[in-house]
Structure 1
């Protein structure tokens, strides 16, 4: 029964990603990767390839609307982003200024590349949706002998109000705000498998990766300055939130109590907004006027070409 439930939720999540609105939210609010991401990964890659040489081909699987790819354009002659969502790919193509970058709808388990034809495979904030073993076997197939794979993601934000001079008060508000953000994010419908991958910062992915040489890096941090409206945009782009709201609406309809006003009472993002503004004593300010530092810890698993018996 639990397996059937997970399969149903996986189908629901796929339909959520097949949404133009979701693709646009990804484009606006999911560009959280620091400038240090690409050099960190490429330092590892260059251990297996000539340092300074521009490599031929990189592929990102689960590329969304192209947030991470732009960090790597100077390192490769050709970059291809693959995603199962046609809407995400359309959004990526519409906002792509790079002549060496292209996008295509594709399956993570049947990549449209010849065996041994790819230098680097990336997977950013997506592998937790995949069958990891099946995906890594396909990565092994497409990688050249000296090829590398890099898998990265992020989990909970730490939020700190801007403009609070007193360090003790700033730390107090950071703890309150970050805990509210944590409750908001985990309030969505996270499948247990997805949550377990993220909460351990992909350590389990690192352990499963059968690369002879591999690294698990948890040192990278985002460096963002957002207002409340932007943070809510990020939360609104999360598939567990959208799945939660879809289920809540269906539940209210089933008991004949649905209205937009009633649904809003159950909106975990709206509850977060209200509680944060109250805790930070900014209820009289517009969301766009309340600024904060937002820090995501970025975790990266890197390896040379995996080996399977």
Structure 2
């Protein structure tokens, strides 16, 4: 992605920091007909974090999902949260501190497309509602690289509507654009994939044993939510 686009993304995400938690809850309920807490539970359920695991949360934002993972592991794990946005990282640190969970977490600024970690480092990598702002296949390959053999990747993201790929796709996409008009993140450097395409991308990135929890779009033209899990092969 061009550097100018990366700079713009950072600027916009910085501006969202103060209102991000409230706005994502409202957006999910109003536009997707889904409780944000259900999306978080979907990630935690498929991730099934275990005590003692080393976990990476990519594009951690304000740390909401990372904290839920730590709670599910009863605080007996280590979680590294990365984000390209300094203000989001600071918000995540504050949220962790308010819960007295600082020893569990490390946060740093980093790009999902170029993870600053050695191969075979993490037992679990997660990311939630962020990868449509990235080159997804590039990120998934990086995620696979830093996972230990047998490790899990659990990705929640907004999906394209299958109708967008058909003959009436351009019209359906116009309806979707009108429906999403005025929302903070409407198509900001975004590339959306259908649920089927997500399965293909996971396989192409080298993951096996994929599972998916798919939340159908609210309307025939609008976007859905998918939580996808893949395993890095041992051999």
CA contact (8 A) 1:27 1:91 kept: no
In the alignment, structure 1 residue 16 sits paired with structure 2 residue 9: no
How far off is 1:207 after superposition?
1.2
Flag the 1:55–1:91 CA change in 2: closer, same or farther, 3 A.
same
CA contact (8 A) 1:35 1:71 kept: no
Determine the C-alpha separation between the residues in 2 that align with 1:71 and 1:181: 33
CA contact (8 A) 1:140 1:306 kept: no
Q: Which residue of 1 aligns with 2:82?
A: 82
Q: Which residue of 2 aligns with 1:182?
A: 179
Q: Larger relative CO (CA 8 A, sep 6+): 1 or 2?
A: 1
Structure 1 gaps, min length 5 = 47-51, 157-178, 222-295
In the alignment, structure 1 residue 204 sits paired with structure 2 residue 187: no
How far off is 1:217 after superposition?
1.5
Match of 1:301 among 224, 228, 231: 228
SS at match of 1:194: coil
* RMSD of equivalent CA atoms: 3.6
Runs of 4 or more consecutive aligned structure 1 residues displaced over 6 Å after TM superposition: none
TM-score normalised by length of structure 2: 0.68
Q: How does 1:91-240 map to 2 (within 5 A)?
A: 91-96=91-96, 97=99, 98-99=101-102, 100-154=104-158, 182-185=179-182, 190=187, 194-197=190-193, 200=194, 202-210=195-203, 211-219=207-215
Larger Rg: 1
1:232-286: CA deviations, max 9, x gaps? xxxxxxxxxxxxxxxxxxxxxxxxxxxxxxxxxxxxxxxxxxxxxxxxxxxxxxx
1:103-124: CA deviations, max 9, x gaps? 2111213323332120111111
How far off is 1:187 after superposition?
9.9
Determine the C-alpha separation between the residues in 2 that align with 1:53 and 1:15: 36
Structure 2 gaps, min length 5 = 29-34, 161-175, 218-222
Determine the C-alpha separation between the residues in 2 that align with 1:209 and 1:187: 28
1:167-191: CA deviations, max 9, x gaps? xxxxxxxxxxxx9982525797626
Q: How does 1:280-291 map to 2 (within 5 A)?
A: none
Q: How many equivalent residue pairs?
A: 198
TM-score normalised by length of structure 1: 0.53
